[in-house]
């Protein structure tokens, strides 16, 4: 579905340098702190930025040469990019009909707006943040897109609306095969529920690509004193950082340390903790 190969984009004091693939029927979560390259990557995939080096292929062809039909297969949401807030949903619907013609099912769109309690005759500026977010995602999915690129779709939402958003997305994926998603989020629990793979990015580089189940089931955080750290088998330690009590150590073989070091404190590795230990900085 998507291949990013040796992509490089350089600014004054920053360079994006990454490679990864997303296959059909995969949901991939992109995790990283602000300013580490997520938005640059998304804009490059959409052809809004021209990379200095490397290739980006979507649907089997370079993003620089996507046809209009190819572009119609992409659904996108950005946190601060949308239709004019002076428009009503009814007016936005007319734009979608004109843009996507046969791919946009107006009657079904109306039904979904009704189910999500999104009034067609109300200006978007009068919608709550949750209503605007639901509308953004609904529009991204409304023209039967095969590839969704979602930048922070659940940011700033309460847990009830976040669950609605994730439910919408899961229903959409269940409706048809060969749909894929690249989604970024600061809320790791959302990605843990939804994603098949997690990509951690820091300072423009991918620092980990892992199956979500493997990350949650096999990774762990060892919390050890300095004396305990000095006696640990280091083969399965991926990263370690100094803490007030000694060291926090990341491993992808949690069970090994549970069996061989039963007295040390070992916790499951959440996405947030894994990122914090692998990233250059100390804060998520």
Query: Rounded to whole angstroms, what are the CA distances from 20 to 61, 197, 216, 263, 272?
Result: 16, 11, 21, 39, 21
pLDDT tens digit sequence for 71-119: 889 999 887 777 888 999 999 999 999 888 778 888 889 988 998 889 9
| Residue of higher predicted confidence among 283 and 113 | 113
Question: From the CB of residue 136, how many other CB atoms can be counted at a distance below 10 Å?
Answer: 22
φ, ψ of residue 197 in degrees (nearest 5) = -130, 150
Distance CA 213, CA 218 (A): 8
Is residue 177 pLDDT above 60, yes or no?
Answer: yes
Residue 246's pLDDT is 92
Least-confidence region, from 44-48, 189-193, 260-264: 189-193
Buried b vs exposed e over 64-81: b needs ≥16 C-beta within 10 Å?
eebeeebebbbbbbbeee
Dihedral sign of CA atoms 51, 54, 60, 61 in order: positive
Distances, alpha carbon 88 to alpha carbons 110, 124, 144, 220, in Å? 13, 6, 22, 49
Q: Model's pTM, two decimal places?
A: 0.85
Question: Do 200 and 208 touch, CB atoms closer than 8 A?
Answer: yes
């Amino acid at each position: 579905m998507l291949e990013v190969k040796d992509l490089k984009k350089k600014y004054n004091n920053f360079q994006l340098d990454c490679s990864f693939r997303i296959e059909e029927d995969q949901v991939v979560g992109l995790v990283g702190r602000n300013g580490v390259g997520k938005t640059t990557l998304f804009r490059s995939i959409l052809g809004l930025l021209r990379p200095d080096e490397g290739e980006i292929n979507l649907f089997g062809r370079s993003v620089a040469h996507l046809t209009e039909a190819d572009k119609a297969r992409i659904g996108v949401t950005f946190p601060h990019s949308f239709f004019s807030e002076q428009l009503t949903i009814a007016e936005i619907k007319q734009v979608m009909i004109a843009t996507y013609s046969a791919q946009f099912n107006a009657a079904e769109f109306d039904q979904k707006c009704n189910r999500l309690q999104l009034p067609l005759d109300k200006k978007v500026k009068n919608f709550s943040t949750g209503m605007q977010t639901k509308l953004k995602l609904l529009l991204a999915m409304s023209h039967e897109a095969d590839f969704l690129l979602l930048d922070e779709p659940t940011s700033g939402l309460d847990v009830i609306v976040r669950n609605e958003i994730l439910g919408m997305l899961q229903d959409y994926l269940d409706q048809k095969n060969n749909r894929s998603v690249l989604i970024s989020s600061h809320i790791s629990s959302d990605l843990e529920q939804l994603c098949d793979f997690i990509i951690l990015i820091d300072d423009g580089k991918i620092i980990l690509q892992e199956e979500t189940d493997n990350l949650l089931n096999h990774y762990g955080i060892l919390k050890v004193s300095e004396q305990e750290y000095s006696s640990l088998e280091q083969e399965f330690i991926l990263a370690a950082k100094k803490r007030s009590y000694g060291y926090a150590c990341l491993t992808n073989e949690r069970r090994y340390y549970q069996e061989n070091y039963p007295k040390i404190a070992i916790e499951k590795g959440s996405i947030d903790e894994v990122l914090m230990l692998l990233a250059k900085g100390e804060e998520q």
